[in-house]
Amino acid sequence: KAGVTQTPRYLIKTRGQQVTLSCSPISGHRSVSWYQQTPGQGLQFLFEYFSETQRNKGNFPGRFSGRQFSNSRSEMNVSTLELGDSALYLCASSLSTTGINTDTQYFGPGTRLTVL
Q: Given the rule CB under 8 A, which residues bind other proteins?
A: 33, 35, 42-45, 48, 55-56, 58, 90, 101-102, 104-110
- In angstroms, what is the minimal distance from the CB of 17 to other proteins? 25
Specify the residue, 50 or 81, whose C-beta has the smaller distance to other proteins: 50
Q: Which is nearer to other proteins, 70 or 102 (CB)?
A: 102
Q: Is 113 in contact with 89 (CB distance < 8 Å)?
A: yes
How many residues are there in the chain? 116
